[in-house]
């Protein structure tokens, strides 16, 4: 079975609503990237070294990441030679196929590590301004819609207004927020939150944290202390450490991810504002260069626009036109 038929089969098992969300959310990246690809195909009818050099520039401009681009283009050169592809139009499906292979490792890695019948503790980290508190609110709404009892822990006790912002989301989603006064020890907030989450029979505890990067040592100490308190109360906690990144910041998001990966064990990425950027290739750079799965993506402003990341949906949303053309050629041949 060809790559495109497999992709179509996989997409057919998912809802049309999700497919449209990904298509709509990736429209800026698709218009920019596919537009540049089409220009490349018109300029270069045959696959040669100049073609690959131009392709490198297009992928780098889409924020796929220099290291990822170099690896990818080297693979494309070898595969084009092996398959004897000389026409630039015929290499488009191969480019799509190779990009998707970077993302698809296993379906399970993008799932949240939910504890069956026990409290699941999710620590949410990230710098100020990336949409961390908003993402927590949207996750709370999502888990509540799934029938789970959710609570929030206001662990960002330093940023002015952070506790109040989380309380607004608590009211909006009708979930309890465990807080202390501004300037309190975040670890003390987490201890209190775990005790209350247990006593109230919560299924999920979402923990906000301070987003300061100015002093990496302080950040490390604070996160280590918070994790130590959580682990003492629940041996396997936190069950997830989700890093929130702003897709519109491109390579800066990759730099932030590298720092947080150094200071704590990040298990997944929440990539916000993917719908607001023409450089959605950052998903590929994060996955390939940091080996951290993207678990959620922000595809709009509304409360239900934080979507579970599905690699096939991302590939389809980015390359819908190319995929349709390839399918038509397969059927006619």
**133 known ligand binder:** yes
**120 known ligand binder:** no
**126 known ligand binder:** yes
**211 known ligand binder:** yes
**127 known ligand binder:** yes
**89 known ligand binder:** no
Around 187, how many Cα atoms within 13 Å sit in the side-chain half-sphere?
15
Sign of the CA dihedral with 71 first, then 74, 76, and 82 last: negative
The angle that helices 27-43 and 88-103 make with each other, rounded to 10 degrees, is 150
DSSP 181-239: -TT--HHHHHHHHHHHHHHTT-SEEEE------S-HHHHHHHHHHHHHHHHHHSTT--S
**274 known ligand binder:** yes
**278 known ligand binder:** no
Q: In what order do the strands lie in the sheet with 268-272?
A: 176-178, 150-153, 204-207, 120-125, 240-246, 268-272, 294-298, 306-308
**129 known ligand binder:** yes
**272 known ligand binder:** yes
CA distance 333 to 326: 11
**63 known ligand binder:** no
Query: How many secondary structure helices (H) and strands (E) does the chain include?
Result: 13, 8
**131 known ligand binder:** yes
Q: Which helix (H) or strand (E) holds 57?
A: helix 49-61
Read off φ and ψ for residue 269, nearest 5 degrees. -110, 140
**244 known ligand binder:** no
Binding-site entries: 126-133, 208-212, 272-275
Give the annotated binding-site residues for GTP: 126-133, 208-212, 272-275
């Amino acid at each position: 079975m060809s790559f495109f038929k497999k992709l179509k089969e996989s997409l057919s098992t998912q809802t049309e609503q999700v497919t449209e969300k990904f298509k709509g959310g990736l429209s800026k990246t698709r218009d920019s990237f596919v537009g540049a690809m089409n220009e490349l195909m018109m300029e270069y009818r045959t696959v040669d070294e100049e073609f690959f050099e131009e392709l490198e520039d297009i992928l780098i401009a889409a924020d796929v990441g220099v290291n990822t681009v170099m690896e990818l283009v080297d693979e494309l050169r070898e595969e084009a030679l092996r398959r004897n592809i000389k026409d630039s139009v015929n290499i488009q499906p191969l480019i799509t196929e190779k990009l998707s292979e970077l993302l698809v490792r296993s379906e399970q890695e993008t799932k949240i590590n939910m504890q069956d019948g026990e409290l699941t503790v999710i620590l949410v980290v990230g710098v100020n301004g990336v949409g961390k508190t908003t993402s927590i609110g949207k996750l709370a709404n999502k888990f509540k819609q799934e029938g789970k009892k959710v609570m929030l822990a206001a662990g960002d006790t330093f940023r002015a207004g952070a506790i109040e912002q989380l309380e607004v989301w608590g009211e909006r989603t009708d979930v309890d927020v465990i807080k202390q006064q501004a300037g309190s020890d975040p670890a003390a907030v987490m201890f209190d939150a775990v005790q209350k989450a247990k006593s109230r029979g919560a299924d999920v505890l979402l923990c906000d944290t301070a987003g300061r990067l100015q002093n990496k040592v302080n950040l490390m100490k604070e996160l280590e202390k918070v994790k130590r308190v959580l682990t003492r109360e629940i041996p396997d906690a936190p069950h997830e450490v989700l890093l929130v990144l702003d897709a519109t910041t491109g390579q800066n998001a990759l730099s932030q991810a590298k720092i947080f990966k150094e200071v704590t064990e990040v298990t997944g990425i929440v990539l916000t504002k993917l719908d607001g950027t023409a450089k959605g290739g950052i998903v590929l750079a994060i996955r390939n260069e940091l080996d951290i799965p993207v678990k959620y993506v922000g595809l709009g402003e509304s409360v239900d626009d934080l979507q579970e990341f599905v690699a096939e949906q991302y590939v389809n949303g980015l390359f819908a036109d190319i995929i349709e053309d390839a399918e038509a050629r397969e059927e006619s041949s």
